Amino acid sequence: MNIVLVGLMGSGKSSVGRILAETLDRPFIDTDQAVEHEAGVSVAELFAREGEAAFRDREAAAVADAAGRPGQVIATGGGAVLRPENRAALRRCGLVFWLDAPPEELLRRAVGQGVEQRPLLAGPDPLERLRSLARNRAEAYAAAAHYRLDTAGRGARAVAEEILAILKESKQTWHSSM
Ligand code: S3P
């Protein structure tokens, strides 16, 4: 079974994912990185050159590819849940965790990581953009995820520990139901 992380930009998917992969000794896959590797250019460059629709096609291919292998930790791009086929593939291939936080905090974290790498936040009001993405995508994240984690005010390690505890619990439940 894979461990899959979904959520908006700045929600900590990559940081939490790396900690989980290291702790559990599993490969770490980041679908944005997979797209960049395949295309040979950055996500920002892809948006500029080919537009968002072409990026989403590449992203869907990366999601399908990652979901086709077991035993990994998979961090997805913030918009990977938008396509129903991506949501279905992610839910089928493992346990899906939605890392959620208020837009103000997401923006602070995204800025800390370099907002220029996030083409969707490039406009004049990135906070309003995050607020509207949060509103528009809440349903898609909820449909994709088995668990929603409130990460407000918490570091990546604390969130990773909560996920590890859930995994332990779900394994026990599974064993005791056999
Ligand atoms: C996007 C999120 C980004 C990246 C692209 C689009 C989105 O990934 O896939 O810029 O639609 O929310 P991160 O969530 O890893 O920043």
Give the distance (Å) from ligand 1 centre to CA of residue 111. Answer: 13
Q: Where are the alpha helices (DSSP H) in the chain?
A: 13-24, 31-39, 43-50, 52-67, 84-93, 103-112, 126-144, 156-176
Task: Judge whether residue 177 has pLDDT over 70.
Answer: no
Distance CA 107, CA 131 (A): 10
Which pairs count as long-range contacts for 17-21, CB under 8 Å and 24+ apart, including other chains?
A: 17/73, 17/74, 17/75, 18/73, 19/156, 19/157, 19/160, 20/73, 20/160, 20/163, 20/164, 21/72, 21/73
Give the distance (Å) from ligand 1 centre to CA of residue 34. Answer: 13
Task: Judge whether residue 178 has pLDDT over 60.
Answer: no
Question: Beta-carbon neighbour count of residue 161 at 10 Å?
Answer: 16
Pick from 55, 4, 1: which is nearest to 28 by CA?
4
Which residue has tokens 């026990």?
Answer: 172
Give the distance (Å) from ligand 1 centre to CA of residue 69. Answer: 22
Q: Whose CA is nearest to atom 8 of ligand 1?
A: 77
Q: pTM of this prediction?
A: 0.96
Q: Counting atoms of ligand 1 from 1, which one is nearest the CA of 133?
A: 12
> Does the C-beta of 118 come closer than 6 Å to ligand 1?
yes
Give the distance (Å) from ligand 1 centre to CA of residue 172. Answer: 34
At 56-71, the pLDDT tens digits run 999 999 999 999 999 9
The pLDDT, as a whole number, for residue 100 is 98
Question: Could you tell me the two tokens for 178?
Answer: 């056999």
